[in-house]
Amino acid sequence: MTDLVAVWDVALSDGVHKIEFEHGTTSGKRVVYVDGKEEIRKDWMFKLVGRETFCVGAAKTKATINIDAISGFAYEYTLEINGKSLKKYMENRSKTTNTWVLHMDGENFRIVLEKDTMDVWCNGKKLETAGEFVDDGTETHFSLGNHDCYIKAVSSGKRKEGIIHTLIVDNREIPEIAS
């Protein structure tokens, strides 16, 4: 990777993905790697600016690298996820997902709740869940190994805060990580 010009880490529901981009400004070469695997390779491109579109992660999320000339032979590389700048996408994502990381049975678990669909992901796989209405909200139940888990959703009582989601594993509350 001699022409590596940009690296991004993108947190999706199925995990954090590393996107690397090579741009040979003399040869016109463009190579996109996702998690170390080559996704796109174009050699001898005469047009040095443009865009490369590809998919990332289990949900095949659309990603686009934009290549723009700034001045002379200087270039700017920006990444878009689902048509939004990476920054905007991540800001929106922090509103639409909750993420917890926990360590048990000698393993690390990254659990993501997609609030719009109530899908629960763990270490890159969508889990089977069972939803249940309870007195003060809902509970979404699932298992991790021999551990009983659920995500409790209750109203905050404040319109701006909305619904509060809490992960409970073996009757113990797990703190959420800041996304």
| Residue 122 near residue 128 (C-beta atoms within 8 A) | no
Record the tokens describing residue 83, joined without a space: 């048509």
Record the tokens describing residue 95, joined without a space: 């509103």
How far is it, in rounded angstroms, from Cα 12 to Cα 55?
Answer: 12
- Note the pLDDT tens digit of each residue in 114-159: 998 999 999 989 999 999 999 999 999 999 989 999 999 998 888 7
Is 2.40.128.180 the CATH classification of the domain at 93-177?
yes
- Note the pLDDT tens digit of each residue in 13-62: 999 999 999 999 888 899 999 999 999 999 987 788 899 999 999 889 99
Record the tokens describing residue 84, joined without a space: 């939004």
pTM higher than 0.85, yes or no? Answer: no
Q: For 4-82, which CATH class?
A: mainly beta
Per-residue pLDDT at 28: 83
Query: Please, which pLDDT band fits residue 1 given cuts at 50, 70 and 90?
Result: low
Tell me: pLDDT of 178 over 80.
no
Tell me: pLDDT of 179 over 60.
no
Domain ranges of the chain: 4-82, 93-177
- Note the pLDDT tens digit of each residue in 67-118: 999 987 789 999 999 999 999 999 888 889 999 999 999 999 999 999 989 9
Per-residue pLDDT at 2: 76
| Residue 137 near residue 154 (C-beta atoms within 8 A) | yes
Buried b or exposed e, range 9-48, using 16+ CB within 10 angstroms: ebbbbbbebebbbbbbeeeebbbbbbeeeebeeeeebeee
How far is it, in rounded angstroms, from Cα 80 to Cα 90?
Answer: 10
Q: What is the DSSP letter of 29?
A: -
Fold equal for 4-82 and 93-177: yes
